[in-house]
Amino acid sequence: MELESVAEALRIEKWRLKGAMERKNAFLIDDFSPPYILFRKELRHVEKGTSVFLGDSIEVIRGFPRIRRAFYLEPMLQKHFKDNVVIEEKMNGYNVRAALVDGKFVAITRGGFVCPYTTSKLEEDENLLKFLKYNQELVVCGEVVGMENPYVAHEYLEAERFGFFCFDLRYKSTNKALPIEERNSLLEKYQLKSVRLLGTYRKGEIDSIFEIVRELGREGREGVVIKDPEMKLSPVKYTPSETNTSDLAYAFRYPYEYGRDFFFSRIIREGYQAAEWEEGEEELEARAMRLGKSILFPMVRSIRKVMDGDVLTEDFRVRVNSEEKIKALLIFLRRQGINFILEDSGIDLDEHIYLIKRLRNSTTDKIKSYLSGRFE
């Protein structure tokens, strides 16, 4: 492997790249063709999740930039954005970058891995392949949602099983995003699905933006991403109370798998939002009830399951049309250190359905130890 060529492609010093690889902050994945270097951590201007493919020529797929979150929305809008803002729906799935590398289609997760399952699913989208064939300098960034994937199971009527919704088109070389109008024009031309556009507003129209967020909460949708129409300023995300408490309810099923920051940040968001929305006693009572239930109820259910002798699992359903595809996915998951049980759920429409039961051993073992008399 020529580190000098990789460093040149990334515009960083060779010694920095070598040091990152020695510390395992970047590492080679050589069981994929072409092999690639994955960046687990940011290195100077090289984003976390960047993948450098070592084919006939070196191709860089930059990591997707972190989207910051607003806690108190109005002053952030005034401070960060110039005038108009575009409001798009934030969907609850997993981030994927689709691109052609050395003429080969790849679907890359937020962490920078080429996921065999996601790649095989998106390869079935002829419009996506056609887009990339004629726009090879671009990366299609989007959200995979639906109930049949190995990462995030969340039901959407518009994609009950598996769907891919674009939210950005970015240049491989610079990671710069196309302006929204230009992006939408290309997506329409190639008939690619995109996240829902909820409107363009002046940044001072805060009440209208709040109402959008409230309505999304009532509908069980995740939230919004607020963007500069020209995509010159970084986007900002904002979620309703229902999303915060839904996240907490899910995480408190497995409280020892998540860091304390995960829980604390979502609780803090509730306080800032309630204050900014000037909620009265009745609204605060409802929010407090929702918050308390999201913490206590799932945790008690998990404790009782372990008391009954059950092992806690996080379950995902996948659908494949060949044995090779499920084998590739299982190898991929095991190499990431994921422990799971595989259950065959039968055949539907000539496709095989499997249940991947991810073992949540940390929570199961910790609960067992306390139930057995451990004290601290």
* CATH at 31: 3.10.450.740
Is residue 257 located within the same domain as residue 207? no
**How many domains are there within the chain?**
4
CATH number at residue 293: 1.20.58.2250
- pLDDT < 50 positions in the chain: none
Q: Which of 236, 254, 273 is the last residue of a domain?
A: 236
Predicted confidence (pLDDT) per residue in 213-230, tens digit = 999 999 999 999 999 999
Which of 188, 213, 236 is the last residue in one of the domains?
A: 236
Same domain, 153 and 200: yes
Instruction: Give residue 241's identity as a one-letter amino acid code.
Output: S
Domain membership flag for residue 376: no
Task: Read off the pTM.
Answer: 0.94
**b/e 350-368 (16+ beta carbons within 10 angstroms → b):** eebbbebbbebeebbeebe
Indicate whether 252 and 282 sit together in one domain: yes
Residues 330 and 351 in one domain: yes
Listed residues 188, 205, 236: the one ending a domain: 236
The pairing of beta strand 94-101 with beta strand 104-109: antiparallel
Is residue 27 domain-shared with residue 78, that is, in the same domain? Answer: no
Residues 20 and 143 grouped into a single domain: no
Domain assignment present for 179 = yes
Instruction: Read off the pLDDT of residues 58-98 as tens digits, 9 standing for 90 and up.
Output: 999 999 999 999 999 999 999 999 999 999 999 999 999 99
145 and 38 in a single domain? The answer is no
CB 67 within 8 A of CB 76: no
Specify whether 169 is located in the same domain as 269: no
Quote the pLDDT of residue 376. Answer: 85
- Residue 363, in any domain of the structure: yes
CATH number, domain at 345? Answer: 3.30.70
- Name the H helices within 229-315: 241-251, 260-276, 281-307
The pLDDT assigned to 211 comes to 98
Residue at token pair 């429409």: 349
Do 101 and 221 share a domain, yes or no? yes
Give the tens place of pLDDT for each residue, 32-47: 999 999 999 999 999 9
Closest CA to 326 of 347, 352, 357: 352
User: What is the Cα–Cα distance from 253 to 313, expressed in whole angstroms?
Assistant: 10
Instruction: Name the token pair of 185.
Output: 């024009």
Q: How far is CA 130 from CA 119, 172, 343, in A?
A: 15, 17, 36
**Is the same domain home to 105 and 218?**
yes
Domain enclosing residue 21, as ranges: 3-61
Phi, psi of 13 (to 5 degrees): -70, 145
In terms of domains, do 112 and 129 share one? yes
Domain identity same for 324 and 351: yes
C-alpha 12/C-alpha 306 separation (Å) is 50
